[in-house]
Chains A and B, each alone.
Chain A
Amino acid sequence: MLTTHALVLAIMLFCLGLVGLLSRRNILYMLLSLEIMLNAASLAFIAGGSRWGQADGEIMFLFILTLAAAEVSVALGIVLQLSYRFQTLDADAFNEMKG
C-alpha cells in the first residue's frame, strides 16, 4: 500500500528531524530540523486523508502550514536578536538564565 509506505517515510523523516534537533547546536539548524519534523507530521496527515479519501488530512495540512509560517517568522526574528546580542548562533552560549 502506498499510504502505509508514506507513513513509514513520515516516521523516518520525523526521526531525521529529531536527530538533527538533538545533535546540532547551531540554532538555525535546529529551526531547519523543526521544519523537517513539521513536514513529516503533515505527510502523515496527508497519507491518512488519502487512505480514507477524506479532506480532513489536507485541512490539517493547511493548519500545520499556518503554524509553520507563524513559527518561522517569530523564530527568525529571535535568531536575528540572538546573533546581534551574543554574536554567535551556538545554542549552548545562550545560558544567561542558568538553565
Chain B
Amino acid sequence: MEVLFYIAAAVTLVATVRVITHVHAVHALLYLVVALIALALIFYLLGAQFAAALEIIIYGGAIMVLFIFVVMLLGPLAVEQEKSWLTPGTWVGPSVLALVLLGEVGYLIAAGDHLPIDFMETREKGLSIALYGPYVIGVELASMLLLPGLIGAYHLGRRVSKESR
C-alpha cells in the first residue's frame, strides 16, 4: 500500500510543479485539479476518508470552478485560442496523471475491503462529537468568517457590473 502513496505523492509534486511553471491559466488550473485529486487519494491512504471526499467536492469542485469562472471572465476567448486548447498537447499531461490516479483507485477497489492502515475504525463519529463539543467555538468563528466573506464577495463583484454598464 505504501507504493500507492509514493505514486500519488509523485503525481502531486509533478502536477504542482506544472502549476507554478505554466503560462496559461486554464492549463495551470487543470494541473491544480489533478494535484488536488491526488492529494485526496493521499488523505484516503492516511485514513481520512471524510477529508478526502471534502477535498474532491469542495476544493476540486467548488473552488476550482470559481477560479475557472474568473479566468473566463477576465478575457474574451478568441477562436484560435480555443482551437489551441483542443489540440492534444494541452490535455495529454493532466490526462496521463489522472489516469495514473484512476489506476490506483481501481487497484484499491479490486484489492477488496481491507484498508491501508490498521487503526482504521471510522473516526467520523468522533469527528462530529469533537466538532460540536470542544471545537464549537471554531464552528462559530467559521460562521463569523463566512458571512463577511459572502458580503465582501457580493460587494466586490457587484461594483464591476454596475460600473461597466
Contact = CB atoms under 8 A, between A and B. Distances in A.
A70 B145 contact: yes
B59 A39 contact: yes
Interface string B132-165: 0001001000100110111011011101100110
Interface string B101-136: 000000000000000110100010011001100010
Which residue of B46, B67, B71, B150 has the most chain A CB atoms within 10 A of its CB atom? B46
A13 B16 contact: yes
A85 to B, nearest CB: 9
Band of interface residues on B: 35 or more
Contacts of A71: 149
Contacts of B54: 61-62, 65
Contacts of B96: none
Interface string A1-17: 01101100100110011
A54 B152 CA distance: 35
Contact of A53 (B16, B66, B119, B149): B119
Given A59-B131, A76-B70, A2 B157 contact: no
Interface of B: 2, 5-6, 9, 12-13, 16-17, 19-20, 25, 28-29, 32, 35-36, 39, 42-43, 45-48, 50-51, 54-55, 58-59, 62-63, 66-67, 70-71, 73-74, 116-117, 119, 123, 126-127, 130-131, 135, 138, 142, 145-146, 148-150, 152-153, 155-157, 159-160, 163-164
Given A6-B42, A50-B46, A72 B145 contact: no
23 contacts: A2-B2, A2-B5, A6-B46, A9-B9, A9-B12, A13-B13, A16-B16, A16-B17, A24-B20, A32-B19, A32-B29, A43-B39, A49-B48, A53-B123, A54-B126, A61-B54, A69-B62, A70-B149, A73-B152, A76-B67, A77-B153, A80-B73, A80-B157
Interface in A66-98: 66-74, 76-81, 83-84, 89
A70 B9 contact: no
Interface residues of A, number: 57
A12 B59 CA distance: 20
A18 B22 CA distance: 16
Contacts of A78: 156
| A55, A65, A78 interface centre (most CB from chain B within 10 Å) | A55
